[in-house]
Structure 1
Amino acid sequence: MADGARYSRALILGASVVSIAALATERSLAQTASPQAESVSSERPKQAKRKPAKPQVAQQATPEVMNARAQAGGAAPVQVLDTITVAATKTKERAIDSLAPVSSISLDQIQGLQPNRLSGIFYAVPGVSFQERGDDPATVINVRGLQDFGRVAVVVDGARQNYQRTGHNANGSFFLDPELIGGVDVVRGPTANIYGSGAIGGLVSFRTKDINDVLRPGERWGVDLSGTYGSNSNRGLGSVFGGVRATPDIDIFGGAVYRTQDNYKDGNGTVIGNTNNQVEAGLLKLTVRPALGHEVKFGATFQDYQYTIGQMNTGPVATAAQRALYQGSSVYSSDTKNYTGTLTWNYSLPSDNLFDSHVSIYGNRTENDQTKTYHYSTAGAAYCGAGNVGNNISGCVGDKRSYDLNTFGFDANNTTRFNVGDWRNAVTYGVDAFQDDVITKDSRGNSNITTPSGIRTVSGGFIQLKQNYSSWFEAVSAIRYDRYDLESGKTNSSGDRFSPKITLGVTPVAGFQPYVSYAEGYRAPSITETVISGAHATGGGPAFFVCPDGTSGLFCFLPNPNLRPEVGKNKEVGFNLKYDNIFSASDSFRGKINLFRNDVSDYIDLVASTPVPTGFGSFSQFYQYQNIANARIQGFEAETMYDAGNWFIGVAGHYIQGKNAQTNIGLATITPRKVVTTGGVRLLDRTLIVSAQWASYGANNDVPAGYIPSTGYELVNLYLTYAATKDIVFSASIDNLLNQYYRPYAIPGSSTDGTTQNDVLWTSPGAGRVYKAGLKIHFGGA
């Protein structure tokens, strides 16, 4: 789409929001009813009795929804760590009470941050970082230094996000616009092994917006309109979400998002090419409560990302040194569509201790279609015709390639509760499975080799016993069974394992809860790691080696059908801190502090053979994914917040070390230090919130040979939210106030000549200073 059309659409959507605001101001001022906060039990929430005359009580508001309403309406705020989560144990508990390193991100936090991409909402979450390119809107999530090939389980409304494409980028990503999100839970480490296979690094569970995120108590219908504009450069967002309670037992909810941006500048003022993109997204949900305690939800999400990946020639290439520095890679026009469908059934009644059940069936499809538009050697190998066959890595200008992944899965579990004397027991048991079907099509290029097609099926089951004695002792013990089967061409592999977990916590005095934990996780090898095979094409230069299959290229990929799964063995000591009414009648302090060590046995990494001399220097002939003896990742994490009502301050962050224990060389995926300080004030009867955030990151200098270390940097962000009325909220922010240049992760060296991969180097810096302003309007009625 042309730039003018993109900007016009964003500005029209934003202007519509402003126009509606002007028309609605008088009506909004006339509405004086203020929302009431609802209490949420730390145990199973009691379901409200059905009252057809009052359909608004059919579902209770969650703490994150309450907090959003409190920010806009002037009521007392809710601590984020008090959010109800099921991520760690599949039983409802507050994050602060969970004997696990759990963090939650609420809807009001997301809206206050005005994020342009998903990574922007995780600033204050310890142990979480990102390896993402500016020219690719996909998200690559890293937890405690682990990423790629499903080491971090990512789910959206319970649906696994397993998309992966191997190239000059991270090996594992997913597509999700932050405007669709209603809340996020993060569990760090394999303590969430009952949640699904593969999560040796952790779990990130996203919840998309639903009707309770828009409708207020007493409303039968409601609509939220939002618009945002930002600088650096021409960032626009427009969204609408609305829902109606058709009857006390039927809810209908939907929404649409449009986002666009131009190429941004980094902190040095350099325009990062091809960082422009646009996103069109929508969701639809239908919730039916057919009987008391039963809830069935149908959900569908669609996203379409249009962007250009790769870098143009940015300078002269007259000499070898200039070529190594400036020559761009191939450039592709990309259109990625993501479809997610879910069907869930939940049953829960306070009076029924035998059954507290959840069943979910889902399908997720990612289609990434790319067309080559440019190559640095436009006068030669880039164009086909007249005897020219094109570049044999990426084909000719106009050639197409596609990467598709279909994931289908289900998750079913139940909790049974019973008491024995002073012991309160909850037994949770369940099964889950998913299947990945990878389909890669590239008629001329190298993608069929680097991202091979195939099918992988992963399944498992678990049983967990959660016990509480009186008010001072808690124990969580579980065991999970995992199995996988992989098939691609003539290669087949499979495996299985039992993984235990045990956690013990005590509360010797009120508010202080130390715990210890040991948990194991199991990650099956991916299709790419197991069956990647063949010559890496030369791109027009000389072929250095002949591969076992008779092809020739720069080097040879070797498959490894004997690849063993990874096993994470995590030891953890943690402290939960929860105090209220410390210095005044309404202040509170929440803190989660933990130390951990995760020993990953049979860690899988791409290993190069010993270099051999060629006519152009010494190079490795073979590259193969292999099991190394052990990777050790250890560190300290903390998340704290003191809230006095009219002001708040908190510190969160981590210090992490990660090494290949076999070579004592650091892991390139580690972010060694992150310290984030957040503080702010609530003024004008808490309708005006002004806050600042200072994030300090340490550079990763302990990296393998051939890598350029990441940079250490300081990010200062400012935020303002003003509720002019209870229905009209203005927001503004400044990201990267100091206009810092930063490159948040280490850059891999070239596989051929030791230079950096130019496209990664040019697209890794983050954006410089960004000014943003937004407006949100609410309509609703009984």
Structure 2
Amino acid sequence: MSGLNARACALLLSVSVIPVGMFGGWSSALAQSAAPADVMQAARPKPIKRKRAAAPMAEVPLPPAVMNANAQVGQQIYQSLDEITVTATKTEQRAIDALAPVSVMTLDQIESRQASRVADLIYTIPGVWMQDRGDDPSTSINIRGLQDFGRVAVVVDGARQNYQRTGHNSNGSFFLNPELIGGIDITRGPTANVYGSGAIGGVASFRTKDIQDVVRPGERWGVDANTIFGTNHGRALGSVFGGVHVNPDVDLFAGGTYSTQDNYKDGLGVTVENTAQRLNAGIAKLTVRPADGHEVKLGGIFQEDVYDVGQPRRPLGSPFAQPGSAGNGTSVYATNLKNYTTTLGWKYSRPDDQLFDWNANIYWNRTDNQQIKIAHNSTLATGTCTGGQPGNSITGCVGDPRGYLIDTYGFDVYNTSRIDGGDWRHAITYGVDGFRDDVSTFDKTGNSNKTTPGGERTVTGGFIQWKANYTSLLEVISAVRYDNYQLNSTIGSASGDRFSPKITVGLLPAAVATPYVSYAEGYRAPTITETLVAGAHVATGAGQGDFSVCPDGQRGFFCFLPNANLRPEVGKNKEIGLNVKKNDIFSAGDSFRGKFNVFRNDVSDYIDTVQFTGPPFNSFPPIPGAFPTTYLQYQNIASARIQGFEMETMYDAQRFFIGLSATIQEGKNTQTNIGLYSVQPQKLTTTAGLRFLDNQVVLSAMWTSVKSNTDIPVTYLPGTSYDLVNVYLAVRPTKDLALNFSVENILNEYYRPYAIPRAADFTSPQNDVLWASAGAGITYKAGLRYHFGGG
């Protein structure tokens, strides 16, 4: 492992052996039932609102309702895998009990990280990676090597986040201020196909903060105020969230956050330009309970991100700087991005009602990205711009605007009916969902409105799922989903539909160890860009590389070809998993949780860009000779195969905790046997910590070791192998006051987490991505959070 000495590597090895040794000692107890409930009598269980398809394991109490982290002083410690998840089956259950590769993150964990962006929260989760740029605050999630164009379904309070812009960046991202997040629920692979169309990679569900996060039990109102300061170079954040129970049937919640940061330095001490950002966000929710069991919630989120995206030329002598045109940066755009999310949900649930457990949600999400070109860093400037402004026909002229706007309208309605008969318990969940993307783009003098075409996409679907438990011996989950899509634009249209099955079988669901097997299919419809992108990728000007003649008569570097015959991708995932849970192992109150799984996801009709040449052949003076036209088209390749092993473990002895999570995987284009650039082969995260003074002081460290993927196409430069070590200290002298300190990247290591596209010559990388993808070097942060509340 890079950057660490042999002693540190030995520590990781010893930590890794602990959960293995524990599991070996339990092999004789795999089929035993749980310990009596009175072992955990000091815990505060969450009230059960409905009957469940499977009886909960008696030794593990349900976690409390989401509570402000500052209220945890002296309270029972709950492992995150004991928290509730819904993404796998749309029915509530603990993550440790879910027969699926599920990970959750609690509010307490989120607040202790003091995250600057979403990636700071989820990078340690097994199978999860990010392809972010430092000069862009958006987040692009990769799960099990699949990303872009909705392969990972990202939802915020149930609202799909479908923003996509094609450029020197990922093809799919979303904007969410970390200070708004109250909980994270991630399911890997298409096993959660009931959650919506497209998620062949997985589902990442984010819950924003709500009244229960700031108003504690016994309080009528509450307010949380938070302040964070950091180094590298100048970081500051302030936020206030508050709520009030107007009466037993009406709740109001609102809050906002503002943060700034200057350009940071990477681990080599080089300033990464345009990583300065100014972010602000506001949230408001109204909850009404009009009748027994009914809850109606109206929520709204507004975010504004102000930043400059793009990288200027790097001075010679700086790392990765190159002389001449090879060292060019890119154009820089002053960006004002606004993101709006509005949701209206209606839930109904009563313990005595077996037929109806209802959840309905409608939503609207808008991402409005308005940019103005403020700098042209290429040496190739043409006379296409007026007034003597530099620029060219690819990126436009300095002073000219461009914009990307996407509106997503959607709904999600489902119900669960429960039937008990003899030794069987049945839960039948059925529902419909859909969304429509309206995309419009504008570029006054550049090429962006061609690389990201406008249009409409409508995706609808429905599902039915049967979940059955036979006493404490067997759990079966079977489902089928139907999907349909329609694409329309001025260039063309496309459509398609499919049924996708799922079956999961688990043994001994209430025992210490629960093995399960699963087969699930997922269906991803092609996007507007993949299907309908057309026209010339124009050159900088006449005679400067525009050797290709496109069907519409335009010239360019190459020609985008639409593909109305593009078929949807189908993920076929096979999984074998094992859930392990045990309390009171070495001492009263300690616990171990572990989820282990191996998987193979065969994605048929995988969509990727294919470059080829063909007629017409043309000559272009002053260069003699005939040149074929170069085309770029999204096509279905035969298949992509991604397979691997994942684990997530944690041993918690109250006074200390230690855990290991791991991802080992590989991905191949089965047609060429070349690895997929987006698949990372190995990630290990060791977490360890100590608690003092009745949980008033918590000291912890996280060490993530990542191995670079070198089995990738020649058109990409591999990312780096790296070791990222963070240290956290939380001090809570009173139940109302919390002090948080952290040191991020304590080794001050230079790292680029993902592969970088190369230029057309396959040798020089795209410098703006190379420079902007480097993570921040060592960073110190300190924060103070205070709670106010009363009856």
TM normalised by structure 1 equals: 0.91
Identity of aligned residues (%): 59
Listed one character per residue, the Cα deviations across residues 157-205 of structure 1 (whole Å, up to 9, x for unaligned) are: 0000000000000000000011000001000000000000000000000
CA contact (8 A) 2:63 2:82 kept: no
- The within-5 A match list for 1:537-686 is 537-540=538-541, 541-610=544-613, 621-686=630-695
Change (3 A) 1:746 1:365: same
Q: Does 1:351 align with 2:352?
A: yes
CA–CA distance in structure 2, aligned partners of residues 545 and 195 of structure 1 = 44
CA–CA distance in structure 2, aligned partners of residues 448 and 151 of structure 1 = 23
For the residue of structure 2 that corresponds to 1:621, the secondary structure is strand
Match of 1:494 in 2: 495
Listed one character per residue, the Cα deviations across residues 673-703 of structure 1 (whole Å, up to 9, x for unaligned) are: 1100000000012100000111100001111
CA contact (8 A) 1:315 1:327 kept: no
CA–CA distance in structure 1, aligned partners of residues 257 and 432 of structure 2 = 35
Unaligned runs of 5+ in 1: 1-35, 47-59
Q: Using the TM superposition, give the Cα deviation of residue 328 of structure 1 relative to its aligned residue in structure 2, in angstroms.
A: 1.1
Match of 1:423 in 2: 424
Q: Using the TM superposition, give the Cα deviation of residue 407 of structure 1 relative to its aligned residue in structure 2, in angstroms.
A: 0.1
Match of 2:528 in 1: 527
CA–CA distance in structure 2, aligned partners of residues 638 and 242 of structure 1 = 37
CA contact (8 A) 1:633 1:658 kept: yes
Match of 1:443 in 2: 444
For the residue of structure 2 that corresponds to 1:280, the secondary structure is strand
- The within-5 A match list for 1:86-165 is 86-165=86-165
Quick one: which amino acid aligns to residue 124 of structure 1?
Answer: T
Q: Using the TM superposition, give the Cα deviation of residue 542 of structure 1 relative to its aligned residue in structure 2, in angstroms.
A: 3.3
Change (3 A) 1:742 1:63: farther
Q: Using the TM superposition, give the Cα deviation of residue 733 of structure 1 relative to its aligned residue in structure 2, in angstroms.
A: 0.2
CA–CA distance in structure 2, aligned partners of residues 209 and 96 of structure 1 = 23
CA contact (8 A) 2:651 2:657 kept: yes
For the residue of structure 1 that corresponds to 2:279, the secondary structure is strand
Change (3 A) 1:509 1:182: closer
CA contact (8 A) 2:155 2:161 kept: yes
Match of 2:35 in 1: none
CA contact (8 A) 1:535 1:555 kept: yes
Q: Does 1:270 align with 2:270?
A: yes
Quick one: which amino acid aligns to residue 641 of structure 1?
Answer: M
CA–CA distance in structure 2, aligned partners of residues 219 and 211 of structure 1 = 11
CA contact (8 A) 1:70 1:76 kept: no
Change (3 A) 1:688 1:390: closer
CA–CA distance in structure 1, aligned partners of residues 726 and 545 of structure 2 = 49
For the residue of structure 1 that corresponds to 2:69, the secondary structure is helix
Q: CA RMSD in A?
A: 2.2
CA–CA distance in structure 2, aligned partners of residues 389 and 340 of structure 1 = 38
Match of 2:281 in 1: 281
Change (3 A) 1:688 1:386: closer
Match of 2:457 in 1: 456
Match of 2:183 in 1: 183
Q: Using the TM superposition, give the Cα deviation of residue 388 of structure 1 relative to its aligned residue in structure 2, in angstroms.
A: 7.3
CA–CA distance in structure 2, aligned partners of residues 493 and 209 of structure 1 = 39
CA contact (8 A) 2:344 2:363 kept: yes
For the residue of structure 2 that corresponds to 1:609, the secondary structure is strand
CA–CA distance in structure 2, aligned partners of residues 661 and 377 of structure 1 = 38
Q: Using the TM superposition, give the Cα deviation of residue 578 of structure 1 relative to its aligned residue in structure 2, in angstroms.
A: 0.6
CA–CA distance in structure 1, aligned partners of residues 539 and 509 of structure 2 = 65
**Counterpart among 723, 728, 741 of residue 719 in structure 1:** 728
CA contact (8 A) 2:67 2:216 kept: no
**Counterpart among 40, 48, 51 of residue 46 in structure 2:** 40
**Counterpart among 732, 740, 743 of residue 749 in structure 2:** 740
CA–CA distance in structure 2, aligned partners of residues 152 and 144 of structure 1 = 10
Q: Does 1:731 align with 2:740?
A: yes
CA–CA distance in structure 2, aligned partners of residues 390 and 249 of structure 1 = 59
Quick one: which amino acid aligns to residue 448 of structure 1?
Answer: N
Listed one character per residue, the Cα deviations across residues 489-513 of structure 1 (whole Å, up to 9, x for unaligned) are: 1411100000000000001882100
CA–CA distance in structure 2, aligned partners of residues 558 and 64 of structure 1 = 53
Quick one: which amino acid aligns to residue 461 of structure 1?
Answer: G
CA–CA distance in structure 1, aligned partners of residues 399 and 446 of structure 2 = 12
Listed one character per residue, the Cα deviations across residues 389-436 of structure 1 (whole Å, up to 9, x for unaligned) are: 941011110000000000000000000000121000000000000000
CA–CA distance in structure 2, aligned partners of residues 242 and 616 of structure 1 = 71
Quick one: which amino acid aligns to residue 167 of structure 1?
Answer: G
**Counterpart among 748, 757, 761 of residue 770 in structure 2:** 761
Change (3 A) 1:382 1:426: farther
Match of 1:237 in 2: 237
TM normalised by structure 2 equals: 0.90
CA–CA distance in structure 1, aligned partners of residues 618 and 464 of structure 2 = 55
Quick one: which amino acid aligns to residue 400 of structure 1?
Answer: P
CA contact (8 A) 1:42 1:94 kept: no
Quick one: which amino acid aligns to residue 587 of structure 1?
Answer: D
Q: Using the TM superposition, give the Cα deviation of residue 44 of structure 1 relative to its aligned residue in structure 2, in angstroms.
A: 3.0
CA–CA distance in structure 2, aligned partners of residues 515 and 61 of structure 1 = 22
**Counterpart among 712, 720, 738 of residue 703 in structure 1:** 712
CA–CA distance in structure 2, aligned partners of residues 64 and 373 of structure 1 = 49
- The within-5 A match list for 1:251-270 is 251-270=251-270
Match of 2:21 in 1: none
Quick one: which amino acid aligns to residue 472 of structure 1?
Answer: L
CA contact (8 A) 1:458 1:483 kept: yes
CA–CA distance in structure 1, aligned partners of residues 742 and 689 of structure 2 = 13
CA–CA distance in structure 2, aligned partners of residues 226 and 389 of structure 1 = 44
Tell me which moved more, 504-513 or 692-701. Answer: 504-513
For the residue of structure 1 that corresponds to 2:226, the secondary structure is strand
Change (3 A) 1:291 1:164: same
Quick one: which amino acid aligns to residue 227 of structure 1?
Answer: T
Q: Using the TM superposition, give the Cα deviation of residue 670 of structure 1 relative to its aligned residue in structure 2, in angstroms.
A: 1.0
For the residue of structure 1 that corresponds to 2:717, the secondary structure is coil
Change (3 A) 1:468 1:140: same
CA–CA distance in structure 2, aligned partners of residues 44 and 635 of structure 1 = 36
Change (3 A) 1:229 1:363: same
Listed one character per residue, the Cα deviations across residues 42-97 of structure 1 (whole Å, up to 9, x for unaligned) are: 88379xxxxxxxxxxxxx996472483563x2212111001011111011100000
Match of 2:26 in 1: none
Match of 1:30 in 2: none
Match of 1:305 in 2: 305
CA–CA distance in structure 2, aligned partners of residues 646 and 45 of structure 1 = 35
Listed one character per residue, the Cα deviations across residues 644-680 of structure 1 (whole Å, up to 9, x for unaligned) are: 0010000012001011010000111111111000000
CA contact (8 A) 2:143 2:201 kept: yes
For the residue of structure 1 that corresponds to 2:469, the secondary structure is strand
For the residue of structure 2 that corresponds to 1:759, the secondary structure is helix
CA contact (8 A) 2:381 2:540 kept: no
CA contact (8 A) 2:429 2:466 kept: yes
Aligned residues between the structures: 731
CA contact (8 A) 1:67 1:78 kept: no
Change (3 A) 1:455 1:62: farther
CA–CA distance in structure 2, aligned partners of residues 264 and 483 of structure 1 = 45
CA contact (8 A) 2:219 2:789 kept: yes
Match of 1:338 in 2: 339
Listed one character per residue, the Cα deviations across residues 571-611 of structure 1 (whole Å, up to 9, x for unaligned) are: 00000001011111100100000000000000000111159
CA contact (8 A) 1:37 1:66 kept: no
CA contact (8 A) 2:119 2:130 kept: yes
Change (3 A) 1:182 1:37: farther
CA contact (8 A) 1:64 1:106 kept: no
Quick one: which amino acid aligns to residue 721 of structure 1?
Answer: A
For the residue of structure 2 that corresponds to 1:464, the secondary structure is strand
